[in-house]
Amino acid sequence: MSHELQFYIDGAWVEPLSTATLDVIDPSTEEAYTKIAMGSAADVDRAVAAAKAAFPAFSRTSREERVALLQRILQAYQARYQDVAKAISQEMGAPMQLAMQAQAGIGVAHLAKMIEVLGKFEFDHMQGTTLIAREPIGVCGFITPWNWPINQIVCKVAPALAAGCTMVLKPSEIAPIDAIIFAEVLDAAGVPKGVFNLVNGDGATVGQAISSHPDVDMVSFTGSTRAGILVAKAAADTVKRVHQELGGKSANILLSDVDLRKAVTKGVTGCFGNSGQSCNAPTRMFVQADQHDEAVAIAKAAAANFKVGPPAAEGTVLGPVVSELQYNKIQRLIQAGIDEGATLVTGGTGRPEGLNRGYYVQPTIFANVTPEMTIAREEIFGPVLSILPYKTEEEAVSLANDTVYGLAAYVQSGDLDHARKVAAQMRVGTVQVNYPAMDIGAPFGGYKQSGNGREWGEFGLEEFLETKAVVGYGAA
């Protein structure tokens, strides 16, 4: 049975209390292919009540019970793996190879890592005669985005379950189908009723109701900085914990001793991946001024390898961006780059040749970008790279840090000690040195307007715990 027009509340698929629906658009065709129910504050009340009722019993389950639950979820997720990948490909435009390997795959990675973390995590320890206990925070509200949809769902739900919390999820209404499948996964795995609840809807209604709800103890939000501010304001009156992973404008510093061809080519790949729709994408490439022209030529050649096309088409590397709204924003910012005098190296406004429908964006590179230009300051969230020349290393560090964001930075050097020295100066939550392999256990989150708190692995689990001191616990 299809559950697009239902919500998952208190262990069952239920009819919404409102009649509103929303078309789900395939960004490769610009056509609706299904509808979802859109929730109301009353639906949120129902879901929160179920989570609140389930919390006392679930919070007292043993580590072993929660490990076993996560293992069953992982097994059930793997059984639906292809369904998740196909849903993500259709709802947000990811090419099938990306959807299968990365988008759906990272759900497996987060679940496996949380099983490992929970098996050895120390919830309690003695400090003299005082017991320091780490306890689940309570009912959690999750508001997740469309760009890496299952990633952001699982990296919240898995640690919350590991901690013993209960929860209400509002996934992105733009890419909601993978979340419905994930709710089916949790149901199949035997998650106790009320522990996990799903209510679809928009931010202004369901997101607001979750953020402001007096019985929600913590809200975890991933999305734009603008929306994150609204979540924090809505949560303020109830003094709940607010965890946010927000926007980014990540710098990629290529030091003068770098292998330029390798560094630029990988930098282009990092920027364009997922059609540029990653909050930590290295969108500002800083190159030594006397290497600028060579770097530009390498970048232009690299961009030619990024075939744009329908997600299911053979050879497609970049699919469409997620929506008309996103497409129009990217077009506006590309035009701003042209109007403000940056050198358009490749790409530009409009769809790629041969594509007259779908939200397809040309892979675009600008050179001779200066720090005050709009494309160097605003988060574009599309396949658009800005190349900025610098004269000294100190200038590169200063310019890289000169942003309201602080999610990620990238440092490339032929000398690891040199790269480490520069990495230490970056005001960001994650620095990637010489394009390393992903570390699913590393803390993920930002400084400044990129948010607060951390996700992934042990650091993600800690976000869902309160600290209690039992003084005199060990007294004779």
End-to-end distance of the chain based on CA atoms, in angstroms? 60
Residue with tokens 């006397």: 290
Taking the alpha carbons of 320, 321, 325, 326 in that order, is the dihedral positive or negative?
Answer: negative
Active-site residue, from 165, 279, 455, 463 = 279
Whether the CB-CB separation of 44 and 111 falls below 8 Å is answered with no
Tokens of 378: 């605003």
Give the tokens for residue 89: 């490909």
3-class state of residue 220 by DSSP = strand
Residues 40, 16, 159, 145, CA torsion sign: negative
CB 168 within 8 A of CB 142: yes
Q: Which tokens go with 407?
A: 């999610």
SS3 label, residue 170: strand
- Distance of alpha carbon 55 from alpha carbon 166, whole angstroms: 6
Residue 364 backbone phi and psi in degrees, to 5: -125, 135
Euclidean distance between CA atoms 38 and 169, whole angstroms = 13
Per annotation, catalytic residue among 173, 184, 245, 458 = 245
List the strands of the sheet with 451-452, edge to edge: 12-14, 7-9, 196-198, 166-170, 139-143, 218-222, 241-245, 451-452
CA distance 216 to 203: 16
Helix (H, G, I), strand (E, B) or coil at 408: strand
For 33, 275, 314, 368, the CA distances from 309, given in Å and listed in that order, are 19, 11, 9, 29
Beta bridge partners of 343: 367
245 is an active site residue? yes
Structure tokens at 373: 């230009």
Q: Residue 201 is encoded by which pair of tokens?
A: 């809807």
Which residues carry out catalysis? 245, 279
